[in-house]
Each structure stands twice: as C-alpha cells, then as structure tokens.
Amino acid sequence: MTYTYIHHIPSPPLSTYIDDLYYWDGPVPYPRLKVVPMPSLHLMVNLGDAFQVYEPDHAKPLATCAESWAVGLWSTYHIVDWPLNVRFFGVHFKAGGVYPFLGRPLSELHNQVVSLDAIWGRFAAEMREQLHAAPTTQAGFALLEQLLFVPLCEAPYGLEVVQYAIAEIARQHGTLSIRALSDHIGISQNHLGTQFKKMVGIPPKELARLYRIADIHCSIDPTQPSIGCGSHTNPATMINRTSTRILLRLSGIAQQTICVFAVSYMLRTQNITSFSVLYQLIEFLQDTLSTLAYIRLKG
C-alpha cells in the first residue's frame, strides 16, 4: 500500500500566513482515523471520493466532505473515515493565518468542518475545477498559490498583536502564563482573548494547551509523515478505543488526586506560589495522558 505525499512552501507574502501547501494521492494505512487536536487550521480541496467526519461518540457524521472544506481548530479529537480513492490538495495555515482569507470570526469554525462553498461561494468550485485540471503536482501548487491571492484581504487591525502572541506561545511550547503575556504586550487579558476568538478561533489559553499537546505528540513520535506534526491528514493518529478509555480515565483520576493534594497543601501552608506550580503540573499531566490516549504509540 503506497501513497504520494508532497509538500510545498509558498512564496511571500503567502508564507506569512501559511506553513505549507500539500498534496496527497493514494490509499491511507487505516480507513478510520482519530485525529489529535493540533494548533493548525487547514483548507482541503478534494479531487477524490468523499470523506466522513465524526464528533467523538457520535454515530451520525458531522460532515460529509465531497468537494472542498475548511477544518477549524478542535479542542478534542475527531474521527475521519477515509475513502478508497484519496486525492486532494491542502493548505496548512499558521495559527491565526487563515483569518485574512476567510474574513469571518474563526470561532465559527471551532470544532467544525465547513464547506468552502458556504464561505467563498462559486470561487470554491472554480478553484477545485482548476486544480483538477492541473497537469502536474507542481503545476497544481503554482496554481493554488495564485488562487489564494483572490480571497486574501489586507491584514486587519490587531492581527499583528495576535501573531506576536501566538509566536510567544509556540516558542514556549504552550507553557507560559497568558496573563504575563498580556501584560508584556500591554493589553488586557480579556481584550487578547476577544481578539483570539475572532482571529484564531479559541482563547489563548486553549491554544497554549494545543501547543503543549503538539509538543508531547512530536516528542513521542517525531518520525511520522505528518503535516505540521500531527495534522488533520496524518494517518498515524488512529488509536485503540479500549486504550483510549483506560488512559482518559487514568487522566481524570490523576487530575482529581493532584487537585485534592494541591488544595490540601495550600490550605496548610498558605503558599500560593507552590499551588500555582502544582496547578501547572495538573495541566501537564492531563495533556500528557490525553495525548497518549489520542495517538497510536509505536510498539
């Protein structure tokens, strides 16, 4: 079972907003995947058969993806049923990078898969038709770059601040204090949160959590052929359902145990700093155990 995966770095100014363009052709190792939540948003233009996307523990599909669609940021895993005939172009956006292309609050895409027809209208179908007619993959990449300039708008006010905050969150792998980050930038935490919901889709604290999950995922299995390390299209994200339940239950038990210990310790010592450290440990432990539950471990 072989497939073709090629990625392409776009030229400026698209590279300001986009990590890479990619192309997939051929079968995937597993027909059903559980996709780890990651700090990346994708547009996908389908040239093969339809995908089915499911929310956790839902028998009915959230979306049937037949033509082209946008994948928002997810706070939990989602499930993808891959077709037998897989062929598509994709755009892997940096966090916050897609806003100038869509021109709508990205909170509307949170935990969602949305048809590009609903966002771009007829242009989405035209893009798909032109990419389908591209004679080679490299010609498709060149064409896709040209087409992406059509919906690209001038960077909105506030995006530069949001991008700086995202860069700091990414640089510190999601382990920084959002309040300290807001103070450093010179705006209120509430205002930063509002801008994030609009231009990223989720609050900065939730984005930091996704970066922590991404960091854990990449450190556990850095060799997988992923897009952005653990993206929507990585076939290595299928997991065993029983193992998921066990690990997620363990995560919950461990979190509750540490919470009880931390509160008891704070009441005895009145040491708020130590409590803050313990709270960070709780978050780290929960992220680690959840990630182990989400991904397929080697061996």
Residues 138 and 171 in one domain: no
Residues 141 and 120 in one domain: yes
Of 40-44, 262-266, 292-296, which gets the smallest average pLDDT? 292-296
**43: nearest Cα among 130, 136, 148, 162:** 148
Distance of CA 107 to the CA centre of its chain: 13
* pLDDT tens profile 164-208: 999 999 999 999 999 999 999 999 999 999 999 999 999 999 999
Q: Are residues 252 and 287 in the same domain?
A: yes
Do residues 15 and 9 touch, judged by C-beta distance below 8 A?
A: yes
Same domain, 279 and 250: yes
> Within a domain: residue 95?
yes
| Percent of residues, the chain, with pLDDT higher than 90 | 61
Q: Dump pLDDT digits (tens) for 209-251.
A: 999 988 877 776 555 444 333 344 444 333 334 344 444 444 5
Number of domains in the chain: 3
Judged on CB neighbours under 10 Å (0-12, 13-18, 19+), 256 is exposed
- Is 20 a domain residue? yes
Residue 70 has pLDDT above 90, yes or no: yes
Q: Are 28 and 119 members of one domain? A: yes
Q: Which of 123, 148, 173 represents a domain boundary (last residue)?
A: 148
pLDDT of residue 34: 86
The answer as to whether 234 is a domain residue is no
Q: Are residues 144 and 177 both part of a single domain?
A: no
- Shared domain for 201 and 252, answered yes or no, is no
Q: Measured between alpha carbons, how far is 237 from 105 in angstroms, rounded to an integer?
A: 28
Residue 232 within any structural domain of the chain: no
For residues 166 and 82, membership in a common domain is answered with no
Judge if 8 and 144 occupy the same domain: yes
pLDDT of residue 73: 95
- Do 77 and 119 lie in one domain? The reply is yes
Query: Could you say which of 148, 177, 209 is where a domain stops?
Result: 148
* Sign of the torsion angle spanned by Cα atoms 8, 14, 19, 23: negative
Q: Is residue 114 part of a domain?
A: yes
Note the pLDDT tens digit of each residue in 71-112: 999 999 899 999 999 999 999 999 889 999 998 999 999 999
Tell which of 113, 148, 183 closes a domain.
148
- Indicate if 14 and 64 belong to the same structural domain: yes
One domain for residues 174 and 46? no
For 13-35, write each residue's pLDDT tens digit: 999 999 999 999 998 888 888 88
- On whether the CB atoms of residues 70 and 151 are closer than 8 A, the answer is no
Let me know if residue 230 belongs to a domain.
Answer: no
260 assigned to some structural domain = yes
What's the pTM?
A: 0.76
Q: Which domain holds residue 271?
A: 239-294
**Residue 226 falls inside a structural domain:** no
CATH of the domain at 100: 2.60.120
Chain segment 47-66, per-residue pLDDT in tens: 999 999 999 888 899 999 99
